[in-house]
Structure 1
Amino acid sequence: MVKKFTGKPAFLLVHGAWHGAWCFAKVIPYLERAGHVVTARDLPGHGGRARYPNAFRRLPFDDEAFATEPSPIAAVTLADYVSDVMQTLDALVGLGGPVILVGHSMGGIPITAVGEAAPEHVLKLVYLTAYMPACGVPAIAYSRAPEAHGGKVGAAMKADPARVGALRIDPRSTDPAYMANLKRAFADDVCDDGWTVAQNLLSPDAPALPFATAIETTRSRWGSIPRAYIKCRGDLAIVPRTQEKFVTLADEFTPQNKTEVYELDSSHSPFISQPEKLAATLLEIASK
């Protein structure tokens, strides 16, 4: 069935690292019931398009092999992400309506690049506890900054990204301490059953190249698009101080186009823990 615009903007939802379009499953119905066209798709190397290192599936599990095997998605670039998002964006624009581009976590990187490439097609950029990198600064730099202290993702890494070409986690680990840290990083306020489902859907590798690629944003293109940032106060992946830094730097870059800031009392995964509240926030953003 062909989706039809109702005069309300469409939402294009872009997931983060190790996730896929599946993570928005609980949010989409709320947005659609409010009359919006909504699309989420897997980025290259993620979700249903993920590829796994052989060592991830091999039993008995070999920690050393898992830590050293090159990632099958190491060649995926930011340009690949952008091309993929642009295809979907163009399809939505072709249906005749304006589009709100939403990026969660790592998804903030490609939506920034898409905003710079095609500002005329984006009604608003929404960063959901996401990377909103400043001009010329690769996203990886923010995870090493003092503001990132207290984040839990670093302790979840199972390989050297420079060696394997990916940020590698083990969502099937049998180590209780490791899994407790992983849940705290991504889903601290998610019930155990909800976390079990999400854990089984996470993929082990996220390509390293997009995190290491700087985006040359300009005030006349990316900086001209209205934007909103949804801060998650309990986030232990992209911690609140880092979220605040993104907003501060963006507003300094475009003082005539400041970021609308919204807040949720949630972990890194409000689409699982409080989908109705997240949807309400997105609908509020769309109404302005």
Structure 2
Amino acid sequence: MSLGSTPILFLPGSWHGAWCWNEVIAHLVPDGRPALAVDMAGHGLRARRPECLTMRPFDPAALATEVSPVATVDLDHAADLLGLQMKQLGRGGPVTVVAHSMGGPVLTRVAQQVPELVAHAVYVAAVMPASGNAPGPYFTLPENAEALVLSALRGDPDLIGALRLDLASNDLAYRQQLRDAFYGDVAPIVADAALGLLTPDAPASMMRGTTELTRDGWGSVPRTYVLCARDMAIRPALQRLFIAEADAAFPQNPTSVVTLDSSHAPFLSMPAEVAKIVGKLG
């Protein structure tokens, strides 16, 4: 395939599903660019919901203690699934992979394992850990100060095996916190629709997975980071830290950086701009 015609695979992040990329893909298809959005392991159609959210009468204690049905999903599961999805889309050839948020470590693992299948790795406000580093500790660094996600979690992730959001809550302040965390620049009616499509549990095990990166593996893959300057889920300073660590480890293959004046969800607030960025990549 020639430059510009390589298939593009879109991977959503935690709590999101393939649906979040629909508007971006709509801008690519008229130009004939093959594009597909998929669900990450434990998310979207592959998600399983805890019983406590639909049990009546509602038991607040169960919300914080019920073990998640996706607790066993880890980075290995997610990477195996993404690798299969890439092979199906690319028919064994390379594809450009666009990962959002916690889709980043999954893309990193696959790019390390089979770099020949990744034409370009694109990280959109995504976690891009350094070699041997787990994603979880990054979220408590000073670079992520004032982020709004951790305080929105319900229950102990180590106990329930998930990063759980109370998506059925009628607490107006809590729901506004979720909007601000993910969709600060998205039209309110669209943000509310997106909240309705989120799945409550993101597998906590994925936050603990690590990947050893090598120059001939992930370090050899062309990469672009789309930095979201108004992000309240993964703060811009933390995004810049990911980029700096990658460039320090693999200076022969520096990260191309594009900055959008967007929240954590540019696929909803500025899909045409996201499509323009990824559409130029081979």
Report the TM-score, using the length of structure 2 for normalisation. Answer: 0.97
| 1:98-247 map, 5 Å | 98-247=94-243
Q: Which amino acid aligns with 1:121?
A: L
Alignment match, 1:62? 59
User: What are the residue-to-residue correspondences of 1:17-96 with 2, within 5 Å?
Assistant: 17-94=14-91
Count of residue pairs the alignment pairs up: 282
Structure 2 spans left out of the alignment, 5+ residues? none
Answering whether residue 279 of structure 2 is matched by residue 283 of structure 1, we say yes
Cα distance in 1 for residues equivalent to 2:56 and 2:101: 32
Q: Secondary structure at the match of 2:122?
A: strand
Q: Which residue identity is paired with 1:186?
A: F
The 8 Å contact of residues 232 and 240 in structure 1, kept in 2 or not, is answered as yes
**CA displacement at 1:89 relative to structure 2:** 1.0
Give CA-to-partner distance per residue, 1:17-71, whole Å, 9 cap, x none: 0001011011111112222111111122111121011001113322111000000
User: What is the rounded CA distance, in whole Å, between the counterparts of 1:253 and 1:133 in structure 2?
Assistant: 11
Aligned to 1:126, the other structure's residue is in SS state strand
AA aligned opposite 1:51 = R
Secondary structure, counterpart of 1:116 in structure 2: helix
Confirm whether residue 252 of structure 1 aligns to residue 252 of structure 2. no
Report the Cα distance in structure 2 between the residues aligned to 1:193 and 1:139, rounded to whole angstroms. Answer: 31
1:5–1:36 CA contact under 8 A, matched in 2: no
Cα distance change, pair 120–170 in 1 and its aligned pair in 2 (3 A): same
1:164 and 1:71 map into 2 onto residues whose CA distance is: 6
Mean Cα displacement is larger for which, 127-136 or 84-93?
Answer: 84-93
Whole-angstrom CA distance in 2 between matches of 1:23 and 1:100: 18
Q: Give SS of 2:98's match.
A: strand
> Aligned in 2, Cα 1:183/1:7: closer, same or farther, shift over 3 Å?
closer
Separation in 1 of the partners of 2:209 and 2:130?
12
Deviates more, 1:124-133 or 1:84-93: 84-93
Q: Partner letter of residue 36 of structure 1?
A: R
Distance 2:185 2:256 in 1: 25
User: Shift in Å at residue 146 of structure 1?
Assistant: 1.2
Unaligned runs of 5+ in 1: none
Q: Which amino acid aligns with 2:45?
A: G
For 1:15 and 1:7, how far apart are their aligned partners in 2?
22
